Amino acid sequence: MTGQIKVLDQGPFLHGTKAVLQVGDQLTPDYQSNYQEKRSNYIYFTATLEAAKWGAELAKGDGMERIYLVEPLGTFENDPNLTDQRFPGNPTRSYRSKEPLLIVAKLAVWERHSNEMIQQMKDSLARLAKEGKNVILD
């Protein structure tokens, strides 16, 4: 069928961050990346709690980790940083969009990874950065 948009995932969708957001707020592209010293061309989100937890826990800043339920307001695509490089087939159900995400709720309760697991992941990411392998296709 011509002109029909392929739906990658029905959701629900989540966004992990340390940013303080309110229901009704919109996340838009061209913001400071949570993971690198640059502005991002996309908004990243996921349909799995596990990936959202990592997003919140690894985001820059010292604030409290938060996970928001979001609704994409436009088209989105698989996140090539994960699907092309680390998890072919997108088992993490990770996506990105150049169009806004609407904050529809905040998860009140979720179990974070242990401090040890988070530190191991941060150490691993620091090693990749030192080796020049922390490239985000944006």
Tens of pLDDT, residue by residue over 112-133, are 999 999 999 888 878 877 876 5
Distances (CA, A) of 36 to 2, 5, 39: 39, 32, 8
For the chain, what percent of residues have pLDDT higher than 70? 76
CATH of 13-130 among 1.25.40.10, 2.70.70.10, 3.20.170.40, 2.60.40.420: 3.20.170.40
Q: Which of 35, 14, 8, 10 is nearest to 138 (CA)?
A: 35
| pTM reported for the whole predicted model | 0.81
